[in-house]
């Protein structure tokens, strides 16, 4: 077994998926992979579109810096300089400072998009973008890419993304890049639910086979919960007082049912009690969601934003 970093493993998985016929329009990743220049270069060399989140101290240029291809012919003392290299006073800048001081960003107005709908109401983020050259491992600029900055209009949270495609390229728009960037959040939510409710991170084993079995069992459990939630979604939709089942609600109900089937008939009351509690909490969750949504919309209204009238990057099936 050879040690490999997570970005190296990710590139190997991308190659494996492509060899098996998997085709995607774009890849997205978090800061761990976005700050690794070799990973982004690997995707670019493979002709893959990516939208990678990067930290605020990620370096690059808004304008192409001057690159020296060769040095003076006369010999000098000391170690010879390597070429190509950046010219003097062509140092890169952090993306956080670019947003704050770059005239390109300062003159550009924020564009608002409705990025997703949550139990707390619609989320609206603002976006700016500019052509950008990221700093590679050799210190030289990459080819022309896109730096996208998004900001939550309510919390003020700011995130930075880099893509090897620029709005205006064939089949590429700002809305598409934004949709790819925020699509990772729903995947992270699935992992959070699996860890908190289904025990994805509860394992102590000594072999890979045991780890794989644990992951398979957890994924099957999550699929089972998703199917039950989908089955009862239509039923709860007919009752305005009920909120769609959560993963926690399905897990508790199934556990109560399994215990009731292996106990005397007199103890089946526990199952009925659990079902009654779930119905009570469904109503409570519905009330809480309505309250949070009302508060969120009120806050957006105070900011002069109508989430139903601004641009949306939600997929057509969700919009």
Looking at residue 319, its pLDDT comes to 38
Torsion of the alpha carbons at 172, 176, 181 and 182, rounded to the nearest 10: 180
* Helix, strand, or coil (residue 280): helix
| Spatial contact of 147 and 129, defined as CB atoms under 8 Å apart | yes
> How do the residues of the chain divide into helix, strand and coil, expressed in percent and rounded to 5?
45, 20, 35
Residue closest to 107 by CA, chosen among 115, 95, 99: 99
pTM over 0.85, yes/no:
no
Rounded to an integer, the average pLDDT of 260-270 is 63
More confident residue, 84 or 43: 43
First and final C-alpha spacing in the chain: 46
pLDDT tens digit sequence for 213-246: 989 988 898 888 888 888 877 666 666 555 667 7
Q: Please check the confidence at residue 26 and state whether its pLDDT lies above 90.
A: yes
Q: What angle do CA 248, 198, 233 make, to 5 degrees?
A: 40
The predicted pLDDT at position 318 comes to 43
CA distance 131 to 167: 9
Q: Is the pLDDT of residue 249 over 50?
A: yes
Which of 228 and 27 is assigned the larger pLDDT? Answer: 27
């Amino acid at each position: 077994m050879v040690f490999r970093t997570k970005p190296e493993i990710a590139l190997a998985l991308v190659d494996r998926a492509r060899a098996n016929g998997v085709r995607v329009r774009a890849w997205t990743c978090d800061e761990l992979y976005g700050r690794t220049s070799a990973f982004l270069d690997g995707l670019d060399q493979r002709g893959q579109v990516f939208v990678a989140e990067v930290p605020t101290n990620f370096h690059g240029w808004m304008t192409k810096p001057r690159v020296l291809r060769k040095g003076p012919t006369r010999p000098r003392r000391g170690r010879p300089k390597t070429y190509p290299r950046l010219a003097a006073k062509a140092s890169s800048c952090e993306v956080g400072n670019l947003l704050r001081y770059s005239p390109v960003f300062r003159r550009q107005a924020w564009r608002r998009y409705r990025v997703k709908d949550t139990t707390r109401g619609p989320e609206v983020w603002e976006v700016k973008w500019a052509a950008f050259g990221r700093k590679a491992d050799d210190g030289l600029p990459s080819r022309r890419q896109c730096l996208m900055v998004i900001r939550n209009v309510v919390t003020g949270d700011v995130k930075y993304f880099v893509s090897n495609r620029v709005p205006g390229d064939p089949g590429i728009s700002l809305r598409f890049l934004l949709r790819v960037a925020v699509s990772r959040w729903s995947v992270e939510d699935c992992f959070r639910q699996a860890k908190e409710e289904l025990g994805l991170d509860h394992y102590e084993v000594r072999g890979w086979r045991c780890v794989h079995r644990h992951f398979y069992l957890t994924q099957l459990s999550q699929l089972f919960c998703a199917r039950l939630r989908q089955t009862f979604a239509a039923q709860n939709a007919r009752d305005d007082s009920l909120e769609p089942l959560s993963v926690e609600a399905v897990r508790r109900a199934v556990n109560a049912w399994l215990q009731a089937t292996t106990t005397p008939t007199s103890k089946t009351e526990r199952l009925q009690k659990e079902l009654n509690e779930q119905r009570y909490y469904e109503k409570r969750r519905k009330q809480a969601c309505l309250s949070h949504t009302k508060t969120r919309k009120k806050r957006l209204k105070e900011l002069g934003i109508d989430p139903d009238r601004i641009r949306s990057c939600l997929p057509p099936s969700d919009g």
